[in-house]
Structure 1
Amino acid sequence: MKILLQGLNHKTAPLELREQLAIEPAELTDATRSLLHLPGVREAMLLFTCNRVEVVVCHDTDVQTPLQFLGDHLGIAGASFAAHSYEYRDFDAVQHLFRVASSLDSMIVGEPQILGQVKEAYAAARSIGTARSHLERLMQATFAAAKKVRSQTGIGNASVSIASVAVDLAARVFGSLKGQRVLLVGAGKMGELAAAQFISQGAQSVLVANRTHENAVRLASTFGGRAVPFEDLYTAAAESDIVLTSTGAQEYIFRREHGREFLRRRKNKPMFLIDIAVPRDVDPALNSIDGIFLHDIDSLQSVASAHLEERKIEAQRAERIVAQEALGYHRRTQTLDIGPVVRELHEVAEQIREAELCRAQSQMLPHDQRAAIEGKTRRMMNKFLHPVIMKLKSAAEQGDVDAITTIRTTFDQSLVQQLRSQQGDKKTVEIPPPSRFNALTA
């Protein structure tokens, strides 16, 4: 089974394109299942975060365009993002997935949220039956690699996140967050992380607004803040110095006309908005209004780069671990893949042995000698096959397809010679072609 990963992320595609592929939770199941309609695809998983959209498929025939297929399913022209996407196959796909889960491909290297998001993506695919034995094996290895990176490097020390970088940016703009009034729109994980950061840096008050008011109450009570009914959102925003949004809304919550009204109510006192949602919650047009300062998730990258410098040495150690883990997984799966071939070697050799015994029996071999000869010939067969199988396994572990092909060719020639030597013998057992060799090295 082959692996193909296609996607786009914050390095390859602007936010305007990434948000086109944003998938609502209600759509995720149908979108993932749709990938199984691609010829040759046997298993599939979708990873969607604020910084990336990635499609992972296991397939047994050539597959070219799962990302475009997903775009078509969502009603998006594939050509609009094809130039911004990337593709990894087999070993490279494994290594990329290990890097993603280990937070080596994140905007903020070492941020801990991505591993949880990868686990959620796998759990969703498994729950609907699109992730089975092959993805099960791959994802368990992915989680193990990420755990090893966390335990054996300091990449996660003093963990940061998109939310914490956003708060740091706000602190730089205002000089200090002491005395500032903050509104959080969205009570999810990002909102929770941001609330903790704002409180720790001395914000005067933290308000929380969420469409499900109970979630806003829960988050606000955790940090000593106050929940705001969603219908009072715009009033609360006008009274806040900093607004951070992280909802799952599919349309802008704050538009240009809202910005103008906020400034009128604030008597033109400046207002800082941080939009870390994908799709975006805030119309980019607000940034053109004097007195309103807007940052989205892509504009946080300059702040995030400072954290990368601090973690560069640990990231290098983590990269070595990921490379070793990916190579180990590749070797294990290659060895597993030749299992049927090894069994067929034994089957074919056994048929040759049986054919020769039949020949000997037809030549009046004494019955009391048959058991002894049976044992001797089986031992001879195993001794003959042992070095062949060891070479085959070694080649598979190294990913050396050329060596596997050579072994296959040699064995095929020996089979042809054996068949020719038995022409005309009525007791000869028909020997099937080693079809699994062909499948392995195709």
Structure 2
Amino acid sequence: MHILTIGVNYKNTPVQIREKLAFEPSALEQALTDLRNTKSIFEDVILSTCNRTEIYVVCDQLHTGRYYSKKFFADWFRSTPETLESFLIIKEDQEAIRHLFRVTCGLDSMILGETQILGQVRTSFLTAQQVGTTGTFFNELFKEALTVAKRAQDETQINDHPVSVSYAAVKLLQDTIGVLKDQSVLVIGAGDMSRLALKHLTSSGVRNLTVMNRTKNKAELLAQQFRGKVAPLSDLNTWIDRSDIIFASTSAPDFLITKKRLAPLLAARGIRPLILIDIGVPRNIDPEIAVMDRVHLFDIDDLERIVDENLEARRKAALRIEPLIDSQIARYSEWLDTLGVVPVISSMRRKALSIHSEMMKRIENKLPEMTEQERKVISKQAKSMINQLLRDPINKIKELAGSEHGKHAIDHFAEIFNIADEAKLSGDPIKGEKAKVLPDGQFEEDTRQ
């Protein structure tokens, strides 16, 4: 079996193409089912976000898997493989596994180290699992991907370094003030930067928010979205006096807050400090204000320096994540190597249970007066003896299965115990029965005896 990923992402596909290649949430279950029913495909997961659309499949042959996966992709979006060829990224086996792990850890994201992708991968996997298009391989693979992504966050704190200006501004406030819950915040402007600032402020617990903008209806829409108040720009002096923190992000050609305007207001504030964050271009706040007492002024350059420092910190954290991914890939590869032993252990289980069953029948024929309690005791002891005899061989073959000569070891094991033919008949582990083996190598109790 082989693992393939085929798709498009923000790196090589413009948004006007990506938006046409996104799976509608309402059609995702049908898409998963159709892909699973495609020739050569045994398992599948579909990851569809604003920055990427990728299908992950388990296939029996690489060339047929590639062909039919690309055909499905093209057919679903009413295109042709030739049209999509220049955009499609295709990765196979170890490269596909590494790609999934890097995507889940946020190392392949537009914003390095972002954590939203972890939830998106989890949701995609759980959806596929619910639909029934995952199995032996992907159930284990995606579990490993989610595990390494959580480790990456916990061990490197890569997401602790904000790389958006608005988020950096709020993080700066938290570092300067601490808890923001009781702060009164005025946001001047109703554009995207103001919206993002409001979003991060509310996420940080701020409840006393006021939006001010030249166009009243835009201010009302934004304030309503974040449960804030609205104030006219003509009342700016009043709200400067009432506010602890002021965000300014407008396209005004002149300073909205000048040293001359602020001086008398500061006198009236007493000892209350004022934090001003100017994320407008051109600047909305006179830089000379920075020298005034009890005023802390930060402009876009200050914040971008923080963002640059944080981005560098994320890059360093990303370097620490790569070895975690290597370790998790090795772990999954070892697990893959042991899959060949599953049919052998299943056959051994059936043979052991058959021997136990035949032995109990012979004992019952020879001791017809045996009570039910005596039968249970003998059955239990017989099973215990079989378990003890097989425990070490079973554990040893599980260990050898992951070695360089694992396949030869499995073949010899099957020959020694005369189960080679039955093990072959049990089929591929992806479709066959899972061996019911207890942690110490014992077989589960036969409830028939």
**Normalization by structure 2: what TM-score?**
0.54
Q: Which amino acid aligns with 2:75?
A: D
1:81 aligned onto 2:87: no
Unaligned runs of 5+ in 2: 171-185, 205-209, 233-249, 253-280, 283-305, 368-379, 431-449
Which of 142, 149, 152 does residue 149 from structure 1 map onto? 152
**1:71 equivalent in structure 2:** 74
Contact 1:335 1:393 in 2 (8 A): yes
Range that drifts further, 61-70 or 152-161: 61-70
Aligned CA RMSD, in angstroms, stands at: 5.3
Equivalent residues of 1:183, 1:208 under 8 A apart: no
Does structure 1 conserve the Cα–Cα contact (< 8 Å) formed by 2:223 and 2:229? no
Question: Judging changes above 3 Å, is the alpha-carbon distance between structure 1 residues 152 and 118 closer, same or farther for their aligned structure 2 residues?
Answer: same
Alpha-carbon shift at residue 315 of structure 1 (Å): 1.1
Is 1:183 aligned with 2:191? yes
The equivalent residue for 1:114 is 117
Deviation of the 1:382 alpha carbon? 7.6
Q: Secondary structure at the match of 1:309?
A: helix
Q: Distance in 2 between matches of 1:329 and 1:224?
A: 55
Q: What do the CA deviations read for 1:335-393 (whole angstroms, capped 9, x no partner)?
A: 466333223245568989999x9xxx9xxxxx99xxxxxx9x99999888666544532
For 1:219, the equivalent position in structure 2 comes to 225
* Paired position in structure 2 for 1:406: 408
Measure the CA separation in 1 of the matches of 2:215 and 2:56. Answer: 39
The residue type paired with residue 424 of structure 2 is S
Summarize deviations over 1:29-68 as a string: whole Å, max 9, x none: 3333321221243442221222211112344566224244
Note if 1:97 corresponds to 2:100.
yes
Any stretches of 5+ residues in structure 1 without a counterpart? 168-177, 185-189, 227-239, 243-270, 273-302, 362-366, 369-374, 419-430
SS in 2 for 1:156: helix
Q: How many residues align?
A: 324
1:434 maps to which of 409, 423, 435: 423
Counterpart in the other structure of 1:48: 48
Cα 1:387/1:133, change in 2 over 3 Å? closer
Report if aligned partners of 1:183, 1:209 keep a CA contact under 8 Å in 2.
no
Superposition deviation, residue 197 in structure 1: 6.1
1: CA distance between counterparts of 2:54 and 2:119?
A: 15
- The answer as to whether partners of 1:107 and 1:304 remain within 8 angstroms in 2 is no
- Quote the Cα distance in structure 2 between the aligned partners of 1:53 and 1:2: 20
Query: How many angstroms apart in 2 are the aligned matches of 1:20 and 1:206?
Result: 37
Cα 1:127–1:433 shift into 2, 3 Å? closer
Match of 1:22 in 2: 22
Check conservation: 1:7, 1:54, Cα contact below 8 A.
yes
CA apart distance, 1:73: 1.0
Deviations 1:77-117 (A, max 9, x none): 22233333333444543332222121111122122222222
Measured in 1, the distance between the counterparts of 2:212 and 2:25 equals 35
Please name the residue that 2:34 is paired with. 34
Give the greater-gyration-radius structure (CA): 2
- The 1:337–1:405 alpha-carbon spacing in structure 2 relative to 1, beyond 3 Å, is closer
- Within-5 A mapping of 1:284-363: 308-332=311-335, 334-335=337-338, 338-345=341-348, 347=350
- TM-score for both structures, normalised by structure 1: 0.55
Q: Call closer, same or farther: CA 1:438–1:215 in 2, change over 3 Å.
A: farther
The answer to whether the 8 A contact 1:388-1:407 is kept is no
The one-letter amino acid paired with 2:110 is M
Q: Secondary structure at the match of 2:159?
A: coil
Residue number in structure 2 paired with 1:159: 162
Aligned twin of 2:437: none
Q: Supply the AA of the counterpart residue of 2:85.
A: A
CA-CA distance at 1:152 after TM superposition: 1.0
- Aligned mates of 1:96, 1:28 — CA distance in 2: 22
User: What does residue 261 of structure 1 align with?
Assistant: none
- The structure-2 alpha-carbon separation of the partners of 1:19 and 1:307, relative to structure 1 and needing over 3 Å to count, comes to farther
User: Aligned partners of 1:145 and 1:208: how far apart in 2?
Assistant: 48
Q: 2:397 aligns with which of 392, 416, 432?
A: 392
Query: Partner of 2:8: helix, strand, or coil?
Result: strand
